[in-house]
Amino acid sequence: MALWAQDTEDGFDAIQFNAQRLCFGMSGITQERALAICDALALGENVRARELAQQWVSDEPDQPGAQFALAEVLFRVEGNLPRALFHLNIAESLTNYSSMGRAMASGNLEWHYLTLSQLSYAHQLIGDQEKSLAYLDQISTIYGQDTESFRGWPLIKMKRYDEARASAEKVLAASDNPRDRSRAWNTLCAVELADLRPAESLQACENAMTEDQNIAASRAEELDTVHLLNASEVSLNLLRFQEAEDYLDRASRQIDPDSVGNPWIYKLYLYMNQGRFDAAREALNNMLVWRDSQSPLVGVMNRADHFMVSAVFLMLAGYPDDAARLTQTALNQPDRTGSYTADEAQKDSYAALVNSVAHRLRYERIREELATRPRLGAWRLRIDALAARFRAWRSARHAASLFADAETLTNRLRPYAPLDVHIPEWLEPELIALIGPGVMARLLNDTAGEGAFALNQGYVFAYQTEIAAQQGQHGDVLAMAELALAQLPAQEAMLRARVAARLASAAWRQGQRQKALDHYAAALRQDPTVMRRLNLPLPITPGGANNELGAELVSYLRRSPRFTVVDQGLPLEILAAETPGLCLRDSAGDALSCVELQAPVEPAQGNSEADDSDAQRLARQFHDSTFSLAYTIARSQRVALLGNSVIFSNQNASQQQRQDTVLQR
């Protein structure tokens, strides 16, 4: 869980000498070349703007306006921060004035001021907060501008919370500007949460929205998206799930291209946590619509969030290969986290964790397929299985090294960890296997002693269930799991399913067969993926058709890592209708997973099921149907989740889209 800074629309270019906006937010710019670039940008002719700026730099490399104009196109239009910073540094070297008088005498006052403002913002985004503050000090010293409201977020990023609070309170005491006050309250929203005072934090978030209402009303706009997202995150920290969802609903009503947060990301997480998978599937689609509408600069700031939530959903839907690709991309691409309380290391640790789980799921799926292949054949599959297992181990070691800091882990254990990257509560127990149950048990005790679980002790018992399971202490698993299920919020459907699966496995080993079967069924209903993810076998008792196909099916299921064939397990009915099928039921006879044989898959990449028997295909289809969500995601959409080049997508944006964006603002 992390909080966002004010939207980029309220960045440092909002510090103006007067309200008239002619070119790059300034009224004193008169150069024809600069005005032509601004006209091209206003018309959405971004390629032309880039060409004009490049030609200006080529013709007049010592002109600071040319360097800034090209930097602005690279920064805002293309989201290319490194190259933009290169040209901003040149512009700064050409306008190194120590006073307003010298800047005015040079004729480059506007370019100097704009360069300092953008340098401060760029350094905030790339993580150099000291430089960001230094440029703010220059603006204040040279131009007498009050930059205090912009100081809070860099101070938060450096974890200098007392200074950030003092800065925000100074703004609130001295300024009646709604924008300044809104930023100050937003700073306090994060600061109070860092001090583990979520109630005060939520009040600060709401105060930020109150200040913003005056601005929004004057422009006939919705409230600032970021404020609504922050309020939602704080509500989650208070375990007020419906309140959090209400804030997200408000934030998602209207697309905000300049918002550094996408509300559909958090709605998707929320729906998955609660086992509302149909709503989650719809949220995935809406998330992509929002992402494709956002500005390129925002795109490089929150792309990892899109990758990670998409990867988690793809894992649940049975596409671990694509999930692994998305998480690897998140690891490989640098993020711009300056407007986000979580840092780069947190993003990398989360990406490595999910990457490990994705490769492990791929390994388990290959094992399931191998169960339907000849014992001495399928060498390619066996090699693929070994490769997936190695990649899962390697990513797990990487994640363990990134999570090794005790302070990070302690904060991570808190429900909806304040100011950290968003990791679903049902995935966080994976850390126990990475770090070690003994270490995690000590950290859990310390965290609980600090009151981190005061709102709900069920989270403590859920962690203790996982720790006991990792240590093979089945009696403790039973005791802790019962307490967890009795106290965890009903909205934690996925976490409850994980606990139920652990309880079922322990109960089966302890000889409590009926309790085990009841909890196996409950776990599958809440989260079909949990048995595969935890590598737990499901006890089944085949029945029904007693023919050659049925016997072949049972032989494959016996070899599968997902099943244990026993006398008193969950009933598995082999259907002998015109179309063969399988139906897994609970002890009461209600269906858990029923599948009819589908036609062979068309040849793809040299592989075909045409030569496989009906039993082989039915066994594989039954595995996929039972242990993943029943959603088919087209390959085109899975590829789209990786995203397009922000340059390409921006240059091809239609004029109508730009008009819509203006109206939405």
* Cβ-proximal residues to 227 (8 Å cutoff; 6+ apart), any chain: 182, 186, 205, 208, 209, 212
CA 272 to chain centre: 12
Q: Do the beta carbons of residue 255 and residue 293 sit within 8 Å?
A: yes
**What one-letter code names the amino acid at 166?**
A
Report all structural domains of the chain as residue ranges with CATH numbers, in order of start.
Answer: 31-145 (1.25.40.10), 537-600+609-632 (3.30.160)
pLDDT range class, residue 319, cuts 50, 70, 90: very high
Instruction: Summarize pLDDT for 108-117 with one digit per residue, the tens.
Output: 999 999 999 9
**Closest CA relative to residue 72, chosen from 46, 93, 98:** 46
- The pLDDT of residue 223 is 67
Residue 98: strand, helix, or coil: coil
Q: Are 523 and 501 in contact (CB under 8 A)?
A: yes
d(CA 465, CA 475): 10
Q: Pick from 163, 617, 65: which is nearest to 372 by CA?
A: 617
pLDDT band, very low/low/confident/very high, at 337 (cuts 50, 70, 90): low
Q: 111 by DSSP, 3-state: which? A: helix
Mean residue pLDDT of the chain comes to 87
Count other Cβ atoms within 10 Å, centred on residue 508. 23
In this structure, are residues 600 and 608 in contact, taking their beta carbons and an 8 Å threshold? yes
Asked which of 208-222, 430-444, 645-659 is least confident by mean pLDDT, the reply is 645-659
- Give the tens place of pLDDT for each residue, 68-88: 999 999 998 888 989 999 999
Tell whether the model's pLDDT for residue 245 goes beyond 90. Answer: yes
For residue 200, the model assigns a pLDDT of 86
Sheet holding 538-544, edge to edge: 563-565, 538-544, 570-575, 581-585, 591-596
Count other Cβ atoms within 10 Å, centred on residue 210: 15
Of the candidates 56, 52, 28, the one whose C-alpha atom is nearest the C-alpha of residue 38 is 52
The more confident residue out of 21 and 445 is 445
326 pLDDT exceeds 50? yes
pLDDT of 467-511, one tens digit each? 999 999 999 999 999 999 999 999 999 999 999 999 999 999 999
Nearest to 360 by CA among 559, 621, 534: 534
User: What distance in Å separates the CA atoms of residue 324 and residue 352, rounded to the nearest whole number?
Assistant: 9
The pLDDT of residue 659 is 32
* Dihedral (CA of 626, 629, 630, 631) sign: negative
Q: Average pLDDT of 589-610?
A: 74
Instruction: Name all contacts of 517-520 with Cβ < 8 Å and 24+ positions apart.
Output: 517/569, 517/570, 517/586, 517/587, 518/586, 518/587, 520/570
Helices (H), 403-529: 406-413, 430-435, 437-449, 458-470, 474-487, 493-509, 513-526
How far is it, in rounded angstroms, from Cα 277 to Cα 636? 21
Please return the burial class of 604, using the count of CB atoms within 10 Å of its CB with bins 0-12, 13-18 and 19+: exposed
Give me the residue label for tokens 């800034």.
68
State residue 609's pLDDT score. 61
Amino acid at 437: P
Give yes or no for a contact between 178 and 214, defined as CB atoms under 8 angstroms apart.
yes
Residue 4 phi/psi, 5° resolution?
-105, 155
- The DSSP bridge pattern shows strands 570-575 and 563-565 to be unpaired
Contacts of 225 (CB under 8 A, 6+ apart): 7, 251, 256, 259, 261, 263
pLDDT tens digit sequence for 18-38: 445 579 988 889 899 999 999
What percent of the chain is predicted at pLDDT more than 90?
61
Instruction: Identify which has the larger pLDDT, 537 or 260.
Output: 537
Percent of the chain with pLDDT over 70: 89
Beta bridge partners of 593: 584
Any bridge partners for residue 591, and if so which? 585
Please give the pLDDT value at position 340: 67
How many beta carbons lie within 10 A of that of residue 95, not counting itself? Answer: 23
Per residue in 531-556, pLDDT (tens digit) is 999 999 999 999 987 788 999 999 99
Average pLDDT value for residue range 364-370? 95
**Banded pLDDT at 260 (limits 50, 70, 90):** confident
Q: Torsion-angle region of residue 236: left (phi > 0), alpha (psi -120 to 50) or beta? A: alpha
Pull the structure tokens for residue 21. Answer: 């906006």
pLDDT at 345 over 90: no
Q: Are 12 and 72 in contact (CB under 8 A)?
A: no
